Amino acid sequence: MVVKKKHNNGFHGYGVPDIPRGPRSIRRRDLLKRTIEDSQICAFELLATVAGKLLLESEGSASSNAAEGKDPSSLHSGGVKQEQLVGAKALRSECLDQGSCVESVSVAGRHVESILREFPFAVCDPVLESTSVISSSYFSGKVGHDLKLAIPENQTSLEKSSCKIKGGSSDIGQSCDGYVDSGIARQLEDEGDRNYNVHLTTANTSNPKDEMEICVNTHPLINSDSSVQLTSFRDSIPNASFPRRRNNVKVGTRDDDEKFVGSNLPNSKIRAFRPQRIGHRRIRKLLTSKYWKVAPKLKDCEYSNTNGCIKRVSRNRKILQTCERIQREGPFKKRRIFNPSSALAYDGEGSSESISNSPEKGMKGEKSGSGVNKASLVSSSAASHQALLQSNESQVKFSIKSFKVRDLYIEVPETSTVGSLKRTVMEAVTAILRGGLHIGVLLQGKEVKDDNRTLLQTGISHNDYLDTLGFTLEPSSATASPPISPKDPPVLLPCETHQDLTRLTVSPILDTEFANASCDPPPAANVPNHVESNHELALSPTDEVTNGTTPDSRALVSIPPISVEALAVVPLNQKTRRSELAQRRIRRPFSVSEVEALVEAVEKLGTGRWRDVKLRAFEDADHRTYVDLKDKWKTLVHTASIAPQQRRGQPVPQDLLDRVLCAHSYWSQHQSKLHGKNHTEPLKISDPQAGQV
DNA sequence: TTTAGGG
DNA sequence: CCCTAAA
């Protein structure tokens, strides 16, 4: 009974307050941020101006894009900006053609935006080129970003956590804010920025497995910079209204196979701005569907559904058919993390090696300002941090190294421009990432459905379970993404039918959670200590190395591939997926209190009524099944039978073991006898402790 | 679904 | 913890 009470208190996390971090700190930050922003804004504007000029100058530079794309490394060098600008310009021109550009942007602002927005393409270029054939080629896209976050174990809802994640790195965030403030990119804000960088490679290898992976760093966030933490704090703020803005940290992250070398964004500022707004609702919607189809949002376009493919026709010119599908592969991968510390950190810079490689001097150089910011931020963060510590003893940190979007099927007319292709890809990827991903939290292969549970309650904070912590990313379901601007053309849908397939792994709960579009942040994973995951998710050694974090990060998530299969009317391998999904449950050692409750229940109920035992003593502990209790009892009996020296694991009080033996022997003798009466006949053995109940 | 056991 | 045969 005692136990039961405990459970009531401890297992229902409903009452748990959200992150204690107070609004005050937030405000401070904002102030701080503002200051910083102000200083940075100038830089942005400058950049914008330059970009604008470049754009004007280069008009038929479509080709230039390509050139630029080829040598990603160039980006790093001082010349980066220009190249990017050029690329941006080219892109932009395309956009204009198609009418997809955002109109509401001021001139300067617009340039910037386009640059930022398109930036990712630059990265892609190399690939595209290699893939010269645009039409119907498969690309595997990889999106990488790192994000780390830590949340208090007692943090109440998982959902919230995810929201928090959204927050971008402090640097970025600031810059973003600044941007916003300037009023340049409102849309961005609206749309929500994404931090993702997209890398595309022509990947023949279709490893279904990799489709979408998230890697989580196991290492303690400690590594992360203070600046990061700061960010986290913000993010952690309960009201996650701002979450939408994200930062990108690094662009080309670790790609194992990719030819692609990670290219870094030239400077953090840019990144910050980078409007990742891709995710238009429409797109989102599309994405939502099983097949993640994405149609670039163009104003002038008309959409029609064609079996899973959406056609977009631009009046002005081109017809693009885009079918993008992402296949998700079944299972997810997980990772665990370790440090208990504080808030979530978005690791913008450090993590990617690419950055380190080409530390864009520009970035860093420009960063002078940012550096300052950081410092200030840091200090503030530290303060907050302490506060946090007080309120929460232990926090769980999650770090998602990166995730990959595995296959993307893009089909466009031969006459479409490279730029449009890029855009399409970018949008698709972006949409996937941000357009509505549902995040599921898996523990030992099981979904944690109760959002109100704390990490502690769920076991996520336990080191033992961390290894089995996983996140699942699914495209949000159509239902999930409700808000659609009137403008948005209706999109898609044939796919919805298939949703079931898509989400094998996903639990409904997740969907709902994310349905609130408010949170689109990437999933985070966390874990405290160790690393033993079996999932071979993608490791991004590079990033880690750069970060200085441990190299063993593993991918957290993988999304089941939907694409081709999904399209196929026939569900191919549910089994396969399922099997993939199935994971061993996390190991959750019984605590002494649990053991006590178990013993007590068994003393009263006997050993043949595990269901009753469960109901009696562990009704509130979802993770304890009657089978588990039975098994535990089995082990307890065994443990009690062996010499103390041979016992392993957390020691169980001898008195409990004694009770175990007594109850065991008692029920062994009586089980056959009193059946009907058993339930009413508690252990009568002369066990002083038994009487305590 | 729940038990009971082996793996 | 998992998996399963049996009930």
Answer for A627: CB within 7 Å of strand B: yes
pLDDT at A429 over 60: yes
Element (H, E) at A97: helix A80-98
Q: How far is CA A67 from CA A83, A126, A480, in A?
A: 9, 8, 40
Say if A265 falls within a structural domain: no
Q: Which residues contact A437 (CB under 8 A, 6 or more apart)?
A: A473, A474, A475, A476, A514, A520, A522, A523
More confident residue, A4 or A452: A452
User: For every residue of A237-255, which 3-state class applies, written as one string?
Assistant: CCCCCHHHCCCCCCCCCCC
Say if A445 falls within a structural domain: yes
Answer for A612: CB within 7 Å of strand B: yes
Say if A438 falls within a structural domain: yes
- Closest CA to the C1' of B2: that residue is A611
More confident residue, A32 or A630: A630
Q: How far is the CA of A634 from the C1' of B7 (A)?
A: 14
pLDDT at A657 over 70: yes
For strand B, give the nucleotides within 7 A of a protein CB: 1-7
Confidence label for A630 from pLDDT (cuts 50, 70 and 90): very high
Q: How far is the CA of A494 from the C1' of B2 (A)?
A: 42
Please give the nucleotide, over all strands, whose C1' is closest to the CA of residue A587. C1
Cβ-contact A261, A73 below 8 angstroms:
yes
Q: How far is the CA of A336 from the C1' of B3 (A)?
A: 35
Cβ-contact A269, A476 below 8 angstroms:
no
Q: What is the CATH number of the domain that holds A634?
A: 1.10.246.220
pLDDT per residue as tens digits for the range A495-537: 222 222 233 233 333 332 332 333 233 333 333 333 223 332 3
pLDDT above 70 as % of chain A: 17
pLDDT at A610 over 80: yes
- Closest CA to the C1' of C2: that residue is A584
Confidence label for A416 from pLDDT (cuts 50, 70 and 90): confident
pLDDT, mean over chain A: 43
d(CA A543, CA A401): 8
- Residues of A 374-393 whose CB lies less than 7 Å from any atom of strand B: none
pLDDT per residue as tens digits for the range A199-249: 222 233 333 333 333 333 323 332 222 222 212 222 222 333 323 323 222
Confidence label for A119 from pLDDT (cuts 50, 70 and 90): very low
d(CA A281, CA A478): 11
Fill in the DSSP letter of residue A470: E
Confidence label for A423 from pLDDT (cuts 50, 70 and 90): confident
pLDDT at A399 over 70: no
3-state secondary structure of A609: coil
Q: How far is the CA of A637 from the C1' of C5 (A)?
A: 24
Say if A451 falls within a structural domain: yes
Q: How far is the CA of A669 from the C1' of C4 (A)?
A: 27
Q: How far is the CA of A444 from the C1' of B5 (A)?
A: 23
Say if A650 falls within a structural domain: yes
Say if A425 falls within a structural domain: yes
The boundaries of the domain holding residue A610 are: 592-672
Q: Alpha helix (H) ranges present in A99-133?
A: 107-130
Answer for A678: CB within 7 Å of strand B: no
The encoded tokens of residue A62 equal 């479509």
Say if A514 falls within a structural domain: no
Cβ-contact A352, A253 below 8 angstroms:
yes
Cβ-contact A409, A107 below 8 angstroms:
no
Confidence label for A682 from pLDDT (cuts 50, 70 and 90): low
What is the dihedral sign for C-alpha A519, A305, A276, A348? positive
Say if A598 falls within a structural domain: yes
Mean pLDDT of A391-409: 61
pLDDT at A110 over 70: no
d(CA A243, CA A234): 9
pLDDT at A614 over 80: yes
Please give the nucleotide, over all strands, whose C1' is closest to the CA of residue A631. C1
d(CA A482, CA A564): 26
For strand C, give the nucleotides within 7 A of a protein CB: 1-4
pLDDT per residue as tens digits for the range A288-300: 333 332 323 322 2
Q: So what's the pLDDT on residue A453?
A: 65
Confidence label for A401 from pLDDT (cuts 50, 70 and 90): low
Answer for A619: CB within 7 Å of strand B: no
d(CA A483, CA A502): 22
pLDDT at A456 over 60: yes
Confidence label for A623 from pLDDT (cuts 50, 70 and 90): confident
Our count of domains for chain A comes to: 2
Q: Which residues contact A325 (CB under 8 A, 6 or more apart)?
A: A291, A292, A293, A308, A407, A408, A409, A562, A563, A564, A566, A567
pLDDT at A570 over 80: no
pTM of the model: 0.28
Residues with CB under 7 A from strand C: A 444-445, 582, 584-590, 623, 627-628, 631, 634-635
d(CA A524, CA A506): 16
Q: How far is CA A309 from CA A135, A142, A143, A429, A507, in A?
A: 14, 22, 23, 16, 27
3-state secondary structure of A223: helix
